[in-house]
Amino acid sequence: METSIQRPSRVWLAIIVLYAISARAQAPAELPAIKPIESLWLTSPQLFTGPSTELKNWRRVFDGIMLLKLPPTFSDNGDFTTRANALIKDVGGEFVLVTLPVGTEGWESSANRRLAERQPGGHYDPAKAVPQLQWLETLRGIDSSTWAWILEQPARMPSPEQAAKSAAEFVRFAKAQHKKAAIWLSAEALTKPRFEELTRSICEATSAGADFYGWMDLPGAAMQAGANWQESLNALLDEILAMTPREKTIIQWSHLPNLPTKDVAGTTAYIIACQAKGINRFCLLSRPQFLGRSPWNDFYRRLPKTAR
């Protein structure tokens, strides 16, 4: 004969079942899983202008590593091609060669003295300004199948026509060299009508030739646009997709402490929100040394990728 300790009464069983149901109802819902992503690039605040042994540890995780050639007014770039090709060969994998807007109209990033002087050992020499096509010729010897033009910190804000002309010229030249062409833009421009017009002009002028459109600053723009960053993110993604095809769109993020992507949960929610819109190409802004720390070392190595 079983005692009451061995066999709980029906009343107690009912209480236990009700408690379990209540606990499940109150438990926070788990985030959906990230679907396998199509592409993940890596960039850094310095865009890797020199050798980095840490990159070797990540070449199989990231499909592209962005490599910047500084404008001619910032650096003499004397042996850049040799050093860049040595780095690419040493690290292995795919590199994306990056240029800022370069030219002689005076608005370009290459005319930004303050930006030049912030570079390691930086200086500014306006006498070395050259037209963009002349500058792009110097990129031809670098072993990279993708080139990127990043509208970053121009000396002054260009007109929509000026920016569109520069971006379109870049794309035409890159395609003539049988390179894939990426245009990199700031999502913060979508929160300011004047800058949104400029951004739209660039997208329209390059739509026939550009292979990719990268959007940086999106986590910060989502935070600024409203109290609920996920609602703001969805609205901004809709604006982005009205300008760039989802299959060409690359969304960038970083892990700065003031952003929703500061931790694993926020980054996961961010990626899932993009995937819900059909966007499945991404770029991380981070130093490789930072990626070696917990929890990011494990997170990025476990991130699901589509089969190749």
11-37 confidence digits (pLDDT tens) = 333 333 333 333 343 333 455 799 999
Q: What is the pLDDT of residue 2?
A: 35
Q: Quick one: average pLDDT of 240-263?
A: 96
Token pair listed for 280: 């499945």
Nearest-angstrom CA–CA distance, 103 and 271: 36
Q: What is the number of structural domains in the chain? A: 1
pLDDT band at 250 (very low <50, low <70, confident <90, very high): very high
Residue 17 in any domain: the answer is no
Q: Is residue 2 part of a domain?
A: no
Q: How far is CA 298 from each of CA 64, 81, 194, 280, rounded to the nearest angstrom?
A: 19, 34, 41, 20
Q: What is the pLDDT of residue 45?
A: 73
Q: What is the pLDDT of residues 150-175, one digit of tens each?
A: 999 999 999 999 999 999 999 999 99
Please state whether 278 falls in left (phi above 0), alpha (psi between -120 and 50) or beta. left
- How many Cα atoms are found within 13 Å in the side-chain-facing hemisphere of 201? 17
Confirm whether 244 is domain-assigned: yes
For the chain, the first-to-last Cα distance in angstroms comes to: 64
Would residue 206 count as lying in a domain?
Answer: yes
- Tell me, yes or no, whether 18 lies in a domain: no
Half-sphere CA count of 203, side-chain side, radius 13 A: 24
- Work out the average pLDDT over 270-276: 97
Segment among 35-39, 54-58, 68-72, 249-253 with least mean pLDDT: 54-58
Q: What is the pLDDT of residue 27?
A: 34
Instruction: Choose the weakest-confidence range: 120-134, 155-169, 192-206, 216-230.
Output: 216-230
- Report the half-sphere exposure of 234 (CA within 13 A, side-chain side): 7
Helix and strand tally (H, E) in the chain? Answer: 11, 8
Question: Phi and psi dihedrals of 304, rounded to 5?
Answer: -70, 140
- pLDDT for position 78: 82
Please give the pLDDT value at position 227: 67
| Mean per-residue pLDDT, 102-120 | 94
Contact (Cβ atoms closer than 8 angstroms) between residue 304 and residue 37: yes
- Nearest CA-CA partner of 41 in 55, 68, 69, 61: 61
- Give me the mean pLDDT over the 79-105 stretch: 93
CATH number of the domain enclosing 282: 3.20.20.80
pLDDT at 4 over 80: no
| The pLDDT value given to residue 120 | 78
Tens of pLDDT along 62-73? 999 999 999 999
In the prediction, which pLDDT does 224 show?
84
For residue 51, the model assigns a pLDDT of 52
Check residue 11 and give its pLDDT. Answer: 38
Nearest in space to 175 (alpha carbons), one of 212, 204, 200: 212
pLDDT at 279: 98
Give the closest residue to 122 by CA, choosing from 109, 136, 138. 109
* pTM of the predicted model as reported, rounded to 2 decimal places: 0.87
Contact 236, 218 (CB under 8 A): yes
97 lies in some domain:
yes
pLDDT band at residue 288 using 50, 70 and 90 as cut-offs: confident
**Which range of residues forms the domain containing residue 288?**
39-302
Please check whether residue 80 lies inside any domain of the structure: yes
Of 28 and 294, the structure prediction assigns the larger pLDDT to 294
pLDDT at 32: 72
Mean pLDDT value across residues 93-119: 95
Could you tell me the pLDDT band of residue 303, with boundaries at 50, 70 and 90?
A: very high
User: Is 11 within the bounds of a domain?
Assistant: no
**Average model confidence (pLDDT) across the chain:** 87
